[in-house]
Structure 1
């Protein structure tokens, strides 16, 4: 089956948005000390700067599952696909703990080992590879059960120090596990993200329909997800561990209403982000040609862009610190602050973050376009893993 432009367009959009969050993480003046979604300290623009980037990870993971389905249909070789998926999944996990962790922290001692979205996708690929003989509809049902029900786990009355709780918790909830002077941080608990990937895999069959039928389905699914989000969120009992509350004004009350939990991705988080994704997929191929051209460049090389953009942003962060008068001896890498000195003000205001974000995305356009052409023209075995 030929490559689906709408998938690459939407993936390109979220890759562009993703860079905004990482520029903010590393360079915003308050990113080390404050959460942009903490309603007691944030401002609406800062909140939305973070909130819009909630779209990135779930869409990235969902479409990774969809791409596996389409690839399987084009090759129709389950055993070969299983082998490749497992190998690629393990490769992504290793990549996360080496090249990506290094690009994020610039800590050659690897004092923090962070399990994030690339490792979660790797875990999902390994599991999906083992399950390829199961019908896609069944995998989709399993994925939906995970999405809708994993928020029930905290209600299970495990004994406080039970072995089962200790083993299961990092698979469902964030955790920090110290070892040998280092710490392993489970930032993306893999089971909830696996649910999103399995659902994306099952949704791959919609791309076998003609474009008009597919568009109607995606509009219905997108609107249904968003309506369901509003209903469940308004009831305010289940779907997210953080209930919404009335705030000092209507704007902040609205922010509380949409302030859903990403770690792990709650049911409501999935409904609102994937609902928006379905609407984007329904209109992606109707975008202006220039928008499609630009987004396709990034969407066709997501892993390349993901890895390189971290190094670019981090190098710019170090240049900023030097420009603000800090010396190399003041940089702190082992503490997880990306080199920024603790206890000393550094970083930039929000308006500057947007300018640097645009600069980073523009800077990576030519390299991404080059790598996309290189990957399309060459048949090197290693390109199948990137």
Structure 2
């Protein structure tokens, strides 16, 4: 049975969070003289002289309507990377605890573990890029606090078998974090629907991919109320700035536009796969539930450098475990994809 108090760091249990001026006062006032702001405004068309809502309630309320999750189960971070870091700082004791990652996977799980001095246990995916449950079980001990699972996975593009993730959730006493940065492009159901079933589940999503807001840096974590309370306790007081909150809220009114773009991206993905298969140096293209494809080639380094010389940037994954010889290619506009194919046709 999952018990948050058994995995929460003792210093975090006893932490008195920073209390901002906006935490201490709720509602509206006519005069604000509490936070040492510049009362004259900002040298911009829009005033940003007041501190933003520290808990981003308006954005969470709109997300709640879209996702079907109460605002109290939503955490907003400066990108998903902030949520990743806060989970380490909340639940993992430096130099004592360990976490499990399943490479190839998103690189920030490892970077953040190293920054926080947390032992990283690597359990590679199987040959078909699925979870190796027996190997994961063999690496778990009483100091294992987190298991990181990216699904759809970056850089391979595939979704993990749902029943395998459920097996971990049901049998692991720490947190299972399911990173769904690319879930909008997948036919798989989000694990958000399972929050009431598993107290140890954390789901990460982002506005950087399908929502086209990478420059705003707004990431989301969905979890039980007690986990979200811990994350809010640890985060900086104003971690999402006012401009990002306002722009994110405006973007979240345009669900139909996003759904149209998703359909177009998936159509372009299928077209690009067919065109790449006709190139002699393409050995394999792995199935994708994301807005990118992993392409195994005869010479990843050579092709990558050739594309750079022609002003086209893809991601060289040749040195990544189980991705030798592979390039990760994001699906672009029809014009960008056409330029990529025409350029590759001339590669020798």
Of structures 1 and 2, the larger Rg is shown by: 2
TM-score, normalization by structure 1: 0.22
More helix by proportion, 1 or 2? 1
Question: Which structure ranks higher in relative contact order (CA pairs < 8 Å, sequence separation ≥ 6)?
Answer: 1
TM-score, normalization by structure 2: 0.24
